[in-house]
Amino acid sequence: MSVRRLAPDEVQPASFAFTAENLAWATETMGKYPVERKASAVIPLLWRAQEQHAYWLPKAAIEYIADMLGMPYIRVFEVATFYTMFQLQPVGTKAHVQVCGTTPCMLRGAEDLIKICKSRIHHDQFHLSDDGAFSWEEVECAGACVNAPMIQVFSDTYEDLTPESFEKVLDAFARGEKPAPGPQNGRYGAEPAGGALTLHDLPFNAASPDGAAAADKPAAKKTPAKKAAPKTSAADQPSVKE
Ligand code: FES
């Protein structure tokens, strides 16, 4: 668990305001909630402010959003300091690497990724690399455990990492590129490596014997079979009392 404090005064900007485009988006977003519940927009607005301000939230932005939503400053500070998705200090201009350090990722090699962060970026988390392009931190589970180990960079996740593929992702960011997010071992989503192994016989599965064409066909309506009349025998007939 990290201590989450605002950046020192010397790096805080004097003011913050949304761009015209972001202001229009924020107004529309607040309009999705009843007027007396507009505070519900606090997380999306903070996230948009962070995106606008080089992926970290200065004090002025937190107060600006509190004013927009009619919230006490302390309430918005509580939200911004609680969620690790909000950065309170300046981060690397090319990438801020959040390495998941929770059990499934640790079991699958997160410690090796952290070693690389320490050697390539900075020995300590929350510090900028010498050129200011990178920073890193260890975070709790980011919800992609089936693709462990994983990292998040700004809005994207990079999964199924090995030390080698992680280095490649960092190399791409260093060149100013945006590497393709998602699993880095070629598998699709959380499917087994090598493709789906089950449900091949269902019509919606393109790998079924019918192929994709089967998926396009509407399922034929089944007409219920007519019930055969029950067979009767003399033994079934009620006996007639004389
Ligand atoms: S444990 Fe790493 S994403 Fe859940």
What confidence tens digit (pLDDT) does each residue in 148-172 have? 999 999 999 999 999 999 999 999 9
Identify the pLDDT of residue 38: 95
141 lines ligand 1 (CB under 6 A): yes
Side-chain half-sphere exposure of 162, counting CA atoms within 13 A:
5
Q: Name, in order, each residue with C-beta under 8 angstroms of 6's C-beta and a sequence gap of 6 or more.
A: 12, 58, 59, 88
What is the distance between the alpha carbons of residues 149 and 173, in angstroms, rounded to a whole number?
Answer: 19
Could you tell me where the beta strands, DSSP code E, fall in 79-223?
Answer: 95-100, 134-139, 151-153, 156-159, 182-183
> Is the pLDDT assigned to residue 48 strictly greater than 90?
yes
Is omega for the bond preceding 149 within 30 degrees of 0, making it cis?
Answer: yes
What's the pLDDT at 33? 96
Question: Ligand 1 mean position to 160 CA, how many Å?
Answer: 11
- pLDDT tens digits, 92-137: 999 999 999 999 999 999 999 999 999 999 999 999 999 999 999 9
Substitution candidate for ligand 1 out of 102, 107, 108, 161 with most atoms within 8 A of CB: 102
Determine if ligand 1 sits within 6 Å of the CB of residue 182: no
* Cβ-contact 151, 137 below 8 angstroms: no
The pLDDT value given to residue 185: 94
Q: Which atom of ligand 1 is nearest to the CA of 105?
A: 2
Question: CA quadruple 73, 74, 80, 83: dihedral positive or negative?
Answer: negative
Measure 126 CA to ligand 1 centroid, in angstroms: 20
Query: Could you tell me the pLDDT band of residue 202, with boundaries at 50, 70 and 90?
Result: confident
Question: What does DSSP assign to residue 219?
Answer: P
Identify residue 78 by its one-letter amino acid code.
E
CB proximity list for 75: less than 8 A, separation 6 or greater: 39, 42, 66
Distance 108 CA to ligand 1 centre (A): 10
Ligand 1 contact, 144 CB (< 6 A)? yes
Return the structure tokens found at 138. 């260890």
List the one residue out of 7, 8, 14, 17 whose CA is nearest residue 49: 17
Q: 24 versus 189: which is more confidently predicted? A: 24
pLDDT score of 239: 44
pLDDT given at position 242 = 36
74's torsion region: left (phi>0), alpha (psi -120 to 50) or beta? alpha
Q: For ligand 1, what atom is nearest to the CA of residue 100?
A: 2
Q: What pLDDT does 200 receive?
A: 77
What are 53-89's pLDDT values in tens digits?
999 999 999 999 999 999 999 999 999 999 989 999 9
SS3 64: helix
Q: Best substitution site from 106, 111, 138, 145 to test ligand 1's pocket, by max atoms within 8 Å of Cβ?
A: 145
Distance 187 CA to ligand 1 centre (A): 18
Q: Residue 100: helix, strand or coil by DSSP?
A: strand
Q: Tokens representing 25?
A: 């988006």
